[in-house]
Amino acid sequence: MPNFKGKHQVLRFDRILCDVPCSGDGTIRKCPNNARTWNMRSALKLHCVQLIIAKRGLELLDVNGYMVYSTCAMNPVENEAIIAELLRKAKGSVELVDVSDKLPNLLRRPGVTTWKITDGRRWYSDSTDVGNSQTVIETAFPPTLEENKKFQLEKCVRIYPHLQDTGAFFIALLKKNSSITGRFRTGVKTNWFRP
């Protein structure tokens, strides 16, 4: 953004809401047609887009700022996998904040730490099983046991429809403790999916 002297400076924010596009499997209750059209391939396609948006959000976040990452999806590929990859790439510059003491009357469940992935043909437990699959990427898999201890994905918030007569929602609060400029430059492969 140009300043009055004609020089460009980066605009930073102390708070960012990163409500990314998602497959919407958490809205099936209010939109039953979504159940017929939802599939894992669409969630896998969105994973890269979600990761790019969330990474950019963290780049624009000021040090000591907070970013909320949210979706109306329940698939961990669109939720905890994104958070795990952000924490992995940030290398300690970003932390997941525990909000379990906030809104005590809100019925919720903690984030998940393990999941399997399907490409529509078979199920995969980790990235070593994938081989030459064109539909599954490494960042969609759960973190290792060692990473799980460090990332503490249980701090994520999952709101399930049956808990309080709502739609489903995923929320994670991230705090940026130090600069991460340059650490996200590796980018995400966006042309990995072949329909």
pLDDT tens digits for 151-186? 999 999 999 999 988 889 999 999 999 998 665 654
37, containing H or E segment: helix 33-37
Look up 156 and say whether it is catalytic: no
The active-site residue, picked from 18, 48, 72, 156, is 72
Q: Where are the beta strands (DSSP E) in the chain?
A: 13-19, 61-71, 94-97, 109-110, 117-118, 123-124, 157-159, 169-176
The pLDDT confidence band at residue 6, using thresholds 50, 70 and 90, is low
pLDDT at 189: 47
- Is it the case that residue 193 has pLDDT exceeding 50? no
Q: What is the mean pLDDT of residues 87-108?
A: 94
Is residue 149 packed enough to be buried (19+ CB in 10 Å), middle (13-18) or exposed (0-12)?
exposed
| pTM (whole model) above 0.75 | yes
pLDDT at 121: 81
More confident residue, 96 or 133: 96
CA 52 to each of CA 94, 100, 174, 195: distance values in angstroms, whole numbers, following the listed order: 16, 27, 16, 20
pLDDT at 3: 53
* Length of the chain (residues): 195
Of the listed ranges 106-110, 133-137, 169-173, 191-195, the one predicted with least confidence: 191-195
Query: What average pLDDT does the chain have?
Result: 86
- Is it the case that residue 76 has pLDDT exceeding 90? yes
Q: What is the mean pLDDT of residues 100-122?
A: 90
